[in-house]
Each structure stands twice: as structure tokens, then as C-alpha cells.
Amino acid sequence: LIAFTGMRGTLLDSTAKKTAFLRHIVDALGLDAAEVITDRAETLARSPEHRERYDLVFGRGVAGMSVLAELTLPFARVGGLVVAQKLVDADEEMETAENAIGLLGGRLKEVIPVAQKGLENRALVVVEKISRTPDRYPRRAGIPSKRPL
């Protein structure tokens, strides 16, 4: 949103302290096209204003890829992309996650190694949204991490 003027974006985190900081930065930089929301992905993804509405969804590597897919794919429109930062040597995790990604309407497109000092052993996992996410996903808050798909 900083580099791409004219682009709108939504920043989501469940921790009020983190979103307060994000709001401060958004205001300080005058990023009028940025919306900051304090909520859980499991809850917000059920909202018609946010479900399957985004061309591009970024996810931090806060969970295994199966969990991250369940938290991000419901936000992406069909034809959109989800990009998640993960560890490079997560091949086994990706194999397991491919089933979950497919169930959620996605397809693993590519894994791009990041060649940046300080981000060694990281990759960007790109998932293409090829069909709608079934209405039963994401499951209630906490369930995706307790019982990954």
C-alpha cells in the first residue's frame, strides 16, 4: 500500500495492540486506502463484505500451511492469489497442505525462495483460488489450529 498508490488494502490482526500500531502507521503515512481491522480471520471471513472479495491475500507464517490456507483462502476471490511466507524446507508440510488447499478451493501455484539478507530459509508460497471455498470454512475460532485439515 505504501509502494502502490491507488491500491486499496485491509490489514487484519486479532490483537488490538498490533492493530493500534498499524492504525498509527497508516495515519502517520497518510494511507487513506488502508483499512485496519481488529478481528479473528475465522470470524471476518464469514462476513459478506470480506468473504471472497480480495484479489491478493497475504498471510504471515503464523501457523502450518493447512491452517494458514483455512484462514486466508476464504478471503480471496476466485482467480485471486494467496501469498504466504513459510520456511523453505517445509516440503513435507506443503505435501500435507495441498489436500487442505484443494478442499478450500485453491491450488498450489509455486514456491518462491526469498533471497534477502535476514530472511534466509524463507519462501513465498503462492496459492491460486480456483473455486469457491465451501461455506463451512473457516471453522470456528481456534478449531483450525487444534484440528488442521
Residue 36 is predicted with a pLDDT of: 97
The overall average pLDDT reported for the chain is 91
Verdict on whether the full-model pTM lies above 0.85: yes
Residues 61 and 134 in one domain: yes
Residue 22 is predicted with a pLDDT of: 96
85-104 burial string, b = 16+ CB within 10 Å, else e? bbeeebeeebebbbebbebb
Residues 19 and 80 in one domain: no
Residues 78 and 119 in one domain: yes
Report the number of distinct structural domains present in the chain: 2
The predicted model gives 83-111 an average pLDDT of: 87
Give the model confidence (pLDDT) of 24-75 as tens digits.
999 999 998 999 999 999 999 999 999 999 999 999 877 889 999 999 999 9
